[in-house]
Structure 1
Amino acid sequence: MINHDEAAVRPLTLAWVSRHLEVGERIVKTEALRGGITADMRRLTIGTQDGRTRDLVLRSYVDPFYVERAEGGLNREAGALTLLAGTGVPAPELVAVDPTAAHCEYPSLLMTHLTGRTVLDDEGVETRVPLLARQLVAIHALRPAERPRKYVTLTTSDTVVVPKGADAAVWAAAIDVIRRPTPPYEGRFLHRDFQPGNVLFAMSPPSPAGPQITGVVDWAATSWGPADLDVAHCSTNLALLHGPAWGLRFAEAYEEAGGVLAATTSERLYWQVRDALACSEEVQSVSQPWREAAGRAELTTRSVEERLDAYVIALMDALG
């Protein structure tokens, strides 16, 4: 999952990073971290003055499409990491940010490295789902003095991509669901991309208490909105990774952990359906890192489309 590549960090960026190190520290190694979709991620090993090492993580937006959109995302992430410091939510600490590439070749953010790894295997999912739910409840409990921006949903009835071979009638009914007015909601602090790929677990050595969450990463989409939206997003990812039943299970686990969802079934399913349909537009970009970085070779674009279809059918059955 780690690709050694010493030359990948450009000279201006290396100089910028060096200016934010402690006296006597230097960069001794860089490693590419695989699995990201929008940004180039690097782990930087820093040699300290006393002969030890520590790690930092560098996020850089290098794709022209994302470079144009980097400033807002990096500023949001920097603000979120600053807010999260000392809250008990395990997030990286902000070291420095260059959102407009004033000093680096590309817009970049430098943060501390967290221990643990993402776990996307089917084995053990029944143990991890309650942990994910409890962590999300803790995130939603935050009450920042200054709220982040209002949540954004870009999917419309015209942008949904119905998978080949999907039940056309069910998908048409699902698309009708997101044509409805947005249900009322009580605002919460949202991660907005909370899903297994952005949660780190301590898995080795095995703990008597079982796996523990060591970090939540990728706070670039932080916003303010309904808790249901974060729950729906994690539910969709679980459905595609592990099967539709796990997508349905996550909302139950969230409530069992003390989370509060929308008042009615139809309101809850509005958000669940909306997120599932949003995923229809990006099945290929989502499934590729699962295959390449997580070793889930069976999660081809086609198989993930089939799971998405099955999940939408399950949601519409629950809606009645």
Structure 2
Amino acid sequence: MDHDETAPVRPSTLTWVGRHLEAGERIVGVEALHGGITAEVRRLIIGRPDGGTRALVLRSYVDPFHLEHAEGGLIGEADALTLLAGTGVPTPSLVAVDPTAAQCEYPSLLMTHLAGRTVLDDEGMEARVRLLARQLVAIHAVRPAERPREYTTLTTADTVVVPRGADAAVWAAAIDVIRRPAPPYEGRFLHRDFQPGNVLFDVPSSNPDGARITGVIDWAGASWGPADLDVAHCSVNLALLHGPAWGLRFAVAYEEAGGVLAASVSERLYWRVRDALAASEEVQSVSQPWREAGRTDLTTRSVEERLDAYVTALMNASG
């Protein structure tokens, strides 16, 4: 995420954060982090009594459009961070949560800050795809004592937005795929928004292939469902960011890393097409943060064209 220095935090939220600091600590700086879609995110620089500093991250739902789902998202994220503590999955640690804005101006969550940065450029892709695949296999290996909520999908055959200039027959066939009932599946713990924008990397400037993952963030959608759904979501994001071939490559990399996907071609196609068609409704909202993060080549139109090419590739590969 990018950041700037002018990012005021509202008074009651500052008071709430202060209650969760250690003795003698105080907030000495605030930076706005950009790149997310649903929430306002701030990095808080915390001054320590010994003169050092540490950082926390504050996520607040302020947009009226997203406030409706703020409580569920923040509770889900808090539960996921608690569940994942000590599992080996690199996540922030939960500090505090106010999902109903009982003490803050807006529903908020406070967590520790992780080192690293999101990487959205094309250089070093093969190495990062392998890292992403191994990380997702590790997430799916988590066995919670209590299952989280069941996954949800909002896209329907009637809400798909067919890109301008797309092959109508191909898209009609793809839409028919999601008219079918969802295939049976063996449930797994899902991130539900696992994609490059929610993974932090340390990338040596002299060796992009020597990247390593330092954190996985934004667990608001954590749920229980098919591994194929997380794989499909990361695949379509890779296809839009880097080209359709990388979307197809990710599923292969996931299996190479030991992940298990649906047994039949038709079942795999269902999940991949479902998530690809979901992206058709969000092209503008996902491409804008990518442009703000430096990918100015990813215009809404270019992302639409990549989505069209990816859906076509999925349907062609299914025979």
TM-score by length of 1: 0.98
User: How far apart in 1 are the matches of 2:260 and 2:200?
Assistant: 24
Structure 2 residue aligned with 1:221? 221
Structure 1 residue aligned with 2:273? 273
Larger mean CA deviation between 257-266 and 65-74 belongs to: 65-74
Q: 1:108 to 1:269 in 2, by over 3 A?
A: same
Instruction: Give the C-alpha shift of residue 204 in structure 1.
Output: 3.8
Structure 1 residue aligned with 2:74? 74
User: How far apart in 1 are the matches of 2:306 and 2:104?
Assistant: 41
Q: 1:206 to 1:19 in 2, by over 3 A?
A: farther
State yes or no: 1:5 paired with 2:2.
Answer: no
SS in 2 for 1:201: strand
Structure 2 residue aligned with 1:313? 312
Structure 2 residue aligned with 1:103? 103
Structure 1 residue aligned with 2:36? 36
Amino acid at match of 1:260: V
Would the aligned equivalents of 2:123 and 2:208 in 1 still touch at CA under 8 Å? no
User: How far apart in 2 are the matches of 1:136 and 1:178?
Assistant: 24
Instruction: Give the C-alpha shift of residue 4 in structure 1.
Output: 1.2
Identity %: 80
Structure 2 regions of 5+ residues with no counterpart? none
Structure 1 regions of 5+ residues with no counterpart? none
User: How far apart in 1 are the matches of 2:208 and 2:105?
Assistant: 46
User: How far apart in 2 are the matches of 1:15 and 1:207?
Assistant: 43
The number of equivalent residue pairs is 318
SS in 2 for 1:57: strand
SS in 2 for 1:144: coil
Q: 1:280 to 1:255 in 2, by over 3 A?
A: same
Amino acid at match of 2:297: E
Instruction: Give the C-alpha shift of residue 203 in structure 1.
Output: 1.4
Structure 2 residue aligned with 1:59? 59
* Per-residue CA distance 1:107-131 (angstroms, 9 max, x = gap): 0000000000000001111110000
Would the aligned equivalents of 2:41 and 2:57 in 1 still touch at CA under 8 Å? yes
Amino acid at match of 2:213: I
Would the aligned equivalents of 2:124 and 2:208 in 1 still touch at CA under 8 Å? no
SS in 2 for 1:239: helix
SS in 2 for 1:171: helix
Amino acid at match of 1:311: Y
Would the aligned equivalents of 2:130 and 2:253 in 1 still touch at CA under 8 Å? yes
TM-score by length of 2: 0.98
Instruction: Give the C-alpha shift of residue 21 in structure 1.
Output: 0.1
Structure 1 residue aligned with 2:14? 14
Larger mean CA deviation between 156-165 and 200-209 belongs to: 200-209
Consecutive aligned runs of 4 or more in structure 1 exceeding 6 Å deviation: none
SS in 1 for 2:210: coil
SS in 2 for 1:270: helix
SS in 1 for 2:21: coil
Amino acid at match of 1:2: H
Q: 1:208 to 1:182 in 2, by over 3 A?
A: closer
Structure 2 residue aligned with 1:254? 254
Structure 1 residue aligned with 2:154? 154
User: How far apart in 2 are the matches of 1:65 and 1:142?
Assistant: 32
User: How far apart in 2 are the matches of 1:57 and 1:244?
Assistant: 33
User: How far apart in 2 are the matches of 1:209 and 1:42?
Assistant: 30
SS in 2 for 1:194: coil
Q: 1:83 to 1:272 in 2, by over 3 A?
A: same
User: How far apart in 2 are the matches of 1:182 and 1:64?
Assistant: 32
Q: 1:242 to 1:84 in 2, by over 3 A?
A: same
Larger mean CA deviation between 124-133 and 202-211 belongs to: 202-211
Amino acid at match of 1:305: E
Structure 1 residue aligned with 2:91? 91
Amino acid at match of 1:251: A
